[in-house]
Amino acid sequence: MENLINYLLQFGQLNPQQIDLVKDKAKEIYVKKEEYFSEAGKVARQVGFMIDGIMRVCYYNHKGEEVTRYFIDENNFVVDLNSFNYQIPSSEYVQAITDCKLIVFSHSALTELSGTIIGWDSMVNKITSKSLLQKIERISPLVAEDATTRYLRFMERYPTLTNRIPLSYLASYLGITQSSLSRIRKNVRL
Amino acid sequence: MENLINYLLQFGQLNPQQIDLVKDKAKEIYVKKEEYFSEAGKVARQVGFMIDGIMRVCYYNHKGEEVTRYFIDENNFVVDLNSFNYQIPSSEYVQAITDCKLIVFSHSALTELSGTIIGWDSMVNKITSKSLLQKIERISPLVAEDATTRYLRFMERYPTLTNRIPLSYLASYLGITQSSLSRIRKNVRL
DNA sequence: AATCCTTTTTGCCAAATGGCAAATGTTGTC
DNA sequence: GACAACATTTGCCATTTGGCAAAAAGGATT
């Protein structure tokens, strides 16, 4: 819980009372490996803050292939924003890659915090835009660089992850086939 | 100006008084083709709402090549968010592709609106996250699909643009070379 | 250890894309 | 119209990546 509070304090001020308000609304949950935090076709009910573990966001493209859009690790929020904000059915899946522990808030809890804490909206604003911009920064270079570079960059960003996730997830994230990734790995090892 | 107000009203309510407040802070400017709306190394001073014209956001990758990250057309906000929000030097360029007319707000103007209009932050929130999500939605498929598909999708999204922008901008946006794009065009024409 | 199942690696060849340079086309200026 | 400057297309060939199927490697269960 302290992790979450520290994270929030980076984006604005909260007095002890307000911190208690936040804590009151928070709930700790666990999501087992392979299970979904939110699913396509359903409304995202909660926003989560990752305490432990890794998740991924994926969808099915027009060819029916599963594509991993991004990975989310500790000390980051995980949420299907479009679905959560407007409480409409989602078009993507958020799935635990490892066993995960997270702190969650329901939609109504956040609405209440927004009404109770002055400056809450501004904090949410900063957190949202920072995290979305980060995602863009991460995806963007994937378009312009060759596959080997993309793989190397991924290893820099998620050094501990590279060998803990299925090859297929990583390949679809990088926009290449499993075999290509396997070959690239071989070359990089040499 | 009406375009802007209508756009804003999609994301929240404003009474006539508040609309006047917004209009008071707004300023109309023109940016000529090829000129920059904001530049790498400088602090983004304003956020703009595109009335007329097209801009692009670009940066230089580690190989020194110019890469177009995205295009912005009419009835959308254009801003280097990271630089503008924190008033820090930017790392990318926002450049007019055609002559542009836009309505702009300074950073301080927005701060004032945030303090004056109840619900303003929440509107900004919605607009920001919607537009960033849209960018992600647009970039994401570029990673997974082949070059021809990317080009066709681009034409669907920006039908009027395809033949008005330099090949090089579009190629770098799609993550391919100019020659490849030229060849793809030829094939598509057939 | 033997079996089954899944994931990863590999081989083979085809298709897509890149790199480079020359040719062609376009635009604006005098 | 002639020219220069710039943008686009094309040819040639090398490199990268994909598609498919078989082999190898790893994991879990009995």
pLDDT (0 to 100) of residue B129? 95
- What is the mean predicted confidence (pLDDT) over B106-121? 95
State how far the Cα of A109 lies from the Cα of A33, in Å rounded to an integer.
Answer: 26
Q: Which of B132, B140, B175 sits opposite A132 (nearest CB)?
A: B132
Tokens of A50: 């990752």
Q: Does B113 touch chain A (CB under 8 A)?
A: no
Tokens of B190: 């057939």
Q: Beta-carbon neighbour count of residue B63 at 10 Å?
A: 9
pLDDT band at B190 (very low <50, low <70, confident <90, very high): low
State how far the Cα of B56 lies from the Cα of B142, in Å rounded to an integer.
Answer: 17
CA neighbours closer than 13 Å in the CB half-sphere of residue B103: 19
State how far the Cα of B35 lies from the Cα of B138, in Å rounded to an integer.
Answer: 25
pLDDT band at B81 (very low <50, low <70, confident <90, very high): very high
- What is the mean predicted confidence (pLDDT) over B1-13? 95
Residue B175 beta carbon within 7 A of nucleic strand C: yes
DSSP A62: T
Residue B179 beta carbon within 7 A of nucleic strand C: yes
- What is the mean predicted confidence (pLDDT) over B109-118? 95
Q: Which of B122, B143, B172 sits opposite A121 (nearest CB)?
A: B122
Residue B188 backbone zone (phi > 0: left; psi -120 to 50: alpha; other: beta): alpha
Chain A residues with CB under 8 Å of B173 CB are: 143
Give the containing element (helix H, strand E) for B29.
Answer: strand B27-31
Residues with Cβ within 8 Å of A178's Cβ and at least 6 positions away in sequence, in order, are: A167, A168, A171
Q: Does A81 touch chain B (CB under 8 A)?
A: yes
pLDDT band at B64 (very low <50, low <70, confident <90, very high): confident
pLDDT (0 to 100) of residue B86? 94
pLDDT (0 to 100) of residue B120? 94
Tens digit of pLDDT at every position of chain A (190 positions)? 999 999 999 999 999 999 999 999 999 999 999 999 999 999 999 999 999 999 999 999 888 889 999 999 999 999 999 999 999 999 999 999 999 999 999 999 999 999 999 999 999 999 999 999 999 999 999 998 999 999 999 999 999 888 889 999 999 999 999 999 999 999 988 6
State how far the Cα of B190 lies from the Cα of B188, in Å rounded to an integer.
Answer: 5
Give the chain B residue whose CA is nearest to the CA of A128. Answer: B129
Tell me the H-state helices in A56-166.
Answer: 81-86, 107-116, 120-144, 147-157
| Partner-chain contact A124 B125, CB within 8 Å | yes
* B10-21 pLDDT per residue, tens: 999 999 999 999
The minimum CA-CA distance between B33 and chain A, rounded to whole Å, is: 25
Nucleotide with C1' nearest the B169 CA: D7
State how far the Cα of B110 lies from the Cα of B107, in Å rounded to an integer.
Answer: 5
Tokens of B79: 């801003």
Question: Are B75 and B25 in contact, with CB atoms under 8 Å apart?
Answer: no
Give the containing element (helix H, strand E) for A170.
Answer: helix A167-174
Comparing CA positions, the residue from A70, A94, A77 lying closest to residue B136 is A70
pLDDT band at B61 (very low <50, low <70, confident <90, very high): confident
Residue type, A170: L
Long-range contacts for B170-174 (Cβ within 8 Å, ≥24 apart)? B170/B68, B172/A144, B172/B58, B172/B65, B172/B66, B172/B67, B172/B68, B173/A143, B173/B56, B173/B67, B173/B68, B173/B69, B173/B70, B173/B71, B174/A143, B174/B142, B174/B147, B174/B150
pTM value is 0.93
pLDDT (0 to 100) of residue B163? 82
Tokens of B34: 């090829």
Q: Which of B82, B136, B174 sits opposite A135 (nearest CB)?
A: B136
Q: Beta-carbon neighbour count of residue A130 at 10 Å?
A: 16
Comparing CA positions, the residue from A129, A126, A132 lying closest to residue A11 is A126
State how far the Cα of A142 lies from the Cα of A135, in Å rounded to an integer.
Answer: 11
Residues 148-177 of A with CB under 7 A from strand D: 148, 175-177
pLDDT (0 to 100) of residue B62? 82
